[in-house]
């Protein structure tokens, strides 16, 4: 099956710093990538949808200036959490939708962010 990777798998940072998370589709081209956030014991919540070469579409309540998304190529999307605060600590998961075939979504393994 298609593989989606995320890097890093976990990160600890100080409050006020910025953190970049990468999402890559390893063996397929992804026209669309999705970013989710999951707090402990809660379900996944969609943050934004990004299409290659265009601006991301953010869900209501998600600050686009705080969570910067760049989908520069068909295999890479990045999420930058700017000026991170402890309340941004969460599990961030990306998924990628294939350009060809039936367009199913494949999920990455997630990145656990802890802001001190």
Shortest distance in whole angstroms from residue 112 CB to other proteins = 7
CA gap 91, 25 in Å, rounded: 19
Shortest distance in whole angstroms from residue 83 CB to other proteins = 26
In the complex with other proteins, the residue whose CB is nearer, 8 or 16, is: 8
In the complex with other proteins, the residue whose CB is nearer, 16 or 109, is: 109
Shortest distance in whole angstroms from residue 38 CB to other proteins = 9
- On the CB side of 47, CA atoms within 13 Å amount to 26
In the complex with other proteins, the residue whose CB is nearer, 13 or 45, is: 45
Residues forming contacts to other proteins in the complex (CB under 8 A) are 1, 4, 6, 32, 34, 36, 43-46, 49, 91, 93, 95, 97, 102-110, 112
Shortest distance in whole angstroms from residue 80 CB to other proteins = 20
Q: Which residues contact 74 (CB under 8 A, 6 or more apart)?
A: 25, 29, 30, 31, 52, 99
Burial track 28-60 (b if 16+ CB lie within 10 A, e otherwise): bebbbbbbbbeeeeeeeeebbbbebeeebebee
């Amino acid at each position: 099956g298609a593989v989606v990777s995320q890097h890093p798998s976990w990160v600890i940072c100080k409050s006020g710093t910025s953190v970049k998370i990468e999402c890559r589709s390893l063996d397929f081209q992804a026209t669309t990538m999705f970013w989710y956030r999951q707090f402990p014991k809660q379900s996944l919540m969609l943050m934004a949808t990004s299409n290659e070469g265009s601006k991301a579409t953010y869900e209501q309540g998600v600050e686009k200036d705080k969570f910067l998304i760049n989908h520069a190529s068909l295999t890479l999307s990045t999420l930058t959490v700017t000026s991170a605060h402890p309340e941004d600590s969460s599990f961030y998961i990306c998924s990628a939708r294939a350009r060809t075939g039936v367009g199913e979504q494949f999920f990455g393994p997630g990145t656990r962010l802890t802001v001190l």
